[in-house]
Amino acid sequence: MLLQLNNIFKWVNSGGQRIFLLKDINLDVEEGEFISVMGPSGSGKSTLLNVIGMLDTFDEGEYNFLHECVHTLKEKHRANLYKEYIGFVFQSYHLLDDLTVQENLEMPLLYKKFKGSERKAMVADMLDRFNIVGKKDLFPVQLSGGQQQLVGVARALIANPKLILADEPTGNLNSQQSEEIMQLFKKLNEEDGVTIIQVTHSEKNAAYGSRIINLLDGRKV
């Protein structure tokens, strides 16, 4: 068992009313799963992803990640936890414009206190694996959307996380680029055993996964 959500609630108070963003969510994720989260806009997909990624808190319920109780952990421990085990991929890539491809890949390693030589080896390995060695000195603006997302995925993977959280990773891409990224996810999941949870609007993309979770108004349906 990689992670487990039990009766998770999240709400905001607006105009004297309590609006539920997540309502009684229960979810078990085993290692090696590839899950797609679907639902209309505002159904709580991203919120759920953020909660799983520990970027956001919740108001009620229990969250266990690798047998640690996330809901009782202090901020610092929580940060250590997601730093070590979780990688993020975003719809708009979120690469740092002022850094080259190589430097973008290196950045997570800096915060994880890897040595210079180790970092170099890991970055080189990643560049190689994703076939982007020739682009290592380019800045994000010099790349196509698909290539940027490729770098985004590579950055998420570089520290060998157990879980990849992808928030509409193909939302800004054309169909061919989408196809490539999804193939990549599939390969990572099947060959390397990386657990993936993705948010998507596309039935086609969802079909790559092993399981689909549908959300509506913060509720699992």
The nearer residue to another protein, 9 or 114, going by C-beta atoms, is: 114
Instruction: List strands edge to edge, sheet with 211-216.
Output: 86-89, 163-167, 195-199, 34-38, 211-216, 219-220
Q: Which residue in the set 36, 50, 170, 200 belongs to the binding site for another protein (CB under 8 A)?
A: 50
Please tell me whether residue 5 adopts helix, strand or coil conformation. strand
CB of 168 to another protein, least distance (A): 10
Asked if residue 83 binds another protein (CB under 8 A), the reply is yes
**Of 91 and 208, CB closest to another protein:** 91
Angle between helices 175-187 and 145-157 (to 10 degrees): 20
Query: Which of 1, 12, 19, 79 is in the footprint of another protein by CB under 8 A?
Result: 79
| Min CB(207)–another protein separation in Å | 25
CB-wise, 96 or 207, nearer to another protein? 96
Pairing of strands 195-199, 163-167: parallel
**What is the 3-state composition of the chain as percent helix, strand, coil, each rounded to the nearest 5?**
40, 25, 35
Q: Which of 3, 8, 22, 95 binds another protein (CB under 8 A)?
A: 95
**With contact defined as beta carbons under 8 Å apart, do 214 and 182 qualify?**
no
Does 12 help bind another protein (rule: CB under 8 A)? no
Q: Look up residue 191 and give its DSSP letter.
A: I
Residues 16-45 contacting another protein, CB under 8 A: none
